Amino acid sequence: MSELTRIPAPEGIAPAVQYSHVVMGTGRFVAVSGQLALDESGRLVGEGDPAAQARQVFENLRRCLTAAGAAFDDVVKLTYFVTDMAHLPAIRAARAEHIPDDRLPAASAVQVAALVRPEFLMEIEAFAVLAT
């Protein structure tokens, strides 16, 4: 795990709510592609259910991070692509199962017209930094 510095409220910037404005680290960079609510067999988990999809997406992120020798403590940035901003509370709840409020990464949320398949409600990508 790398030592990360989080700056939730840089001088002159309104304090961040549910994310950190800046996260800095040194080490090896890990990029995790956007994850969808698919189980290990490629089947959709939680059709029409943002909470179930968010839980599966975060489980997939965890598995990808583990494969790279990383953990959620190493994540410096999450990007949420959602078909409806109303899904953000479900995403935050799933995130809270993996990342405590005092370790929040930088984050962006983008509402999109569609994802690769219409049954997907969200896609989430992660960037992490590992100690060298």
Q: Is the pLDDT confidence value at 46 over 60? A: yes
pLDDT of residue 111: 98
Average pLDDT over all residues of the chain: 94
Query: Residue 65 belongs to what H/E stretch?
Result: helix 50-67
So where are the chain's domains?
20-130
SS3 state at 31: strand
Query: Residue 3 belongs to what H/E stretch?
Result: none
Is domain 20-130 given the CATH code 1.20.120.450 in the classification?
no
Q: pLDDT tens, 109-129?
A: 999 999 999 999 999 999 999
pTM of the model: 0.90
SS3 state at 107: strand
35-71 b/e (C-beta count within 10 Å ≥ 16 → b): bbbbeeeeebbbeeebebbbbbbbbbbbebbeeeebe
Sheet holding 75-82, edge to edge: 28-35, 122-130, 75-82, 106-111
Query: Residue 6 belongs to what H/E stretch?
Result: strand 4-7
